[in-house]
Amino acid sequence: MMAFTAAQIAQLIQGTVEGNPMASVHAFGKIEEASAGQLSFLANPKYEEFFYTTNASVVIVNDNFQPREKTEATLIRVPDAYSAFATLLSKYQELRQQQLSGIEQPSFVAASAQLGNEIYLGAFSYVGERAKIGDHTKIYPNCYIGDDVVIGKGCVLHPGVKIYHQCVLGNDVIIHAGTVLGGDGFGFAPQPDGSLKKVPQIGNVVVEDQVEIGANTTIDRATIGSTIIRKGAKLDNLIQVAHNVEIGSSTVIAAQAGISGSTKIGKGVMIGGQAGIVGHITLGDGSKVNAQSGVSKSLDPGKAVTGTPAYDYTQSLRSQAVSRKLPELEKRIQELEKIIKDLKSGS
């Protein structure tokens, strides 16, 4: 990170400096362990105790934060410290990526491929026939871009990404290391003799603008048509998305979730880690699936579920509260049974 003053940083994130505007930083640091010359932030109140002991030169804080003690650090006040810090990290990442350009060798680019302006293609990468790569896209080493693949502008493909033939990526897509787009969907037809005949998977995967996909995630191509990840969706690491699935815009899915074929997931859906979604159902806009839940039926918009099989989140909490009281309830039932027995024997 290059050196920046508090005043320059405040201008970038539209903040207000409180302290020395010329305080200089050259690196980022967590507030509990930052040293002089580093920039940190405080957004979560549970970390406030570290604010009074941090050695960070500059700290980004919320506008409404009122310190109990004085600090040597220069403050930059913003409406949302977490969001502002994320903006700075993005700008820092952009600066690093701008330094990458050109085609490293050895690599292979088919003669019919079309490469945009100011792209970066890392060593040992492969670009197939008629592939199209947009301006300013960065493709790190050991990536595979199949025939007829289309990649938009400003995308980032981290090392080892594999994109099979005919898949389409929009603009500003980020795909992390080891992810595979366009592998065959899991389609096999049982035969009279008990064998399984492979069903050809002739569709593709379409990833719209501003999607981010984590490391080692797999998204299968459609049998016919497209598996679709809509604009702004965010997928974590180690997720399996099966053939012909559609994931709505701004939906977030945590690690190790699995989505079976032809399921439709709406806009703004939240799916927790290790959740399993069966095929051919619909999850309505804004629905929520708790971690490790197994969803076997369609969900109405806004519905929150948990458990296996998944059911209403509020009812689940009530059931859990009752289950914790079961030993006490058992004892009371035994006492009642004894009272009833005594009454009967007395009559």
Q: How confident is the model at residue 95 (pLDDT cuts 50, 70, 90)?
A: confident
Q: How confident is the model at residue 347 (pLDDT cuts 50, 70, 90)?
A: low
The model's pTM is 0.81
Regarding beta strands 27-28 and 38-42, do their DSSP bridges make them parallel or antiparallel, or are they unpaired?
parallel
User: Which of 174-184 are b and which e, b meaning 16 or more Cβ less than 10 Å from the residue's Cβ?
Assistant: bbbbbbbbbee
* CATH T-level topology, domain 4-98: 3.40.1390
* CATH T-level topology, domain 102-314: UDP N-Acetylglucosamine Acyltransferase; domain 1 (2.160.10)
Determine the pLDDT at residue 311.
67
Determine the pLDDT at residue 326.
85
> Phi and psi dihedrals of 123, rounded to 5?
-60, 150
Give catalytic residues, as residue numbers. Answer: 243
Write out the residue limits of the CATH 3.40.1390.10 domain(s) in the chain: 4-98
22-31, 112-121, 130-139, 309-318: lowest mean pLDDT where?
309-318
For residue 34, give the nearest of 23, 46, 26 by alpha carbon: 26
Per residue in 145-175, pLDDT (tens digit) is: 999 999 999 999 999 999 999 999 999 999 9
Per residue in 293-312, pLDDT (tens digit) is: 999 999 999 999 998 888 68
CA distance 122 to 104: 5
Write out the residue limits of the CATH 2.160.10.10 domain(s) in the chain: 102-314
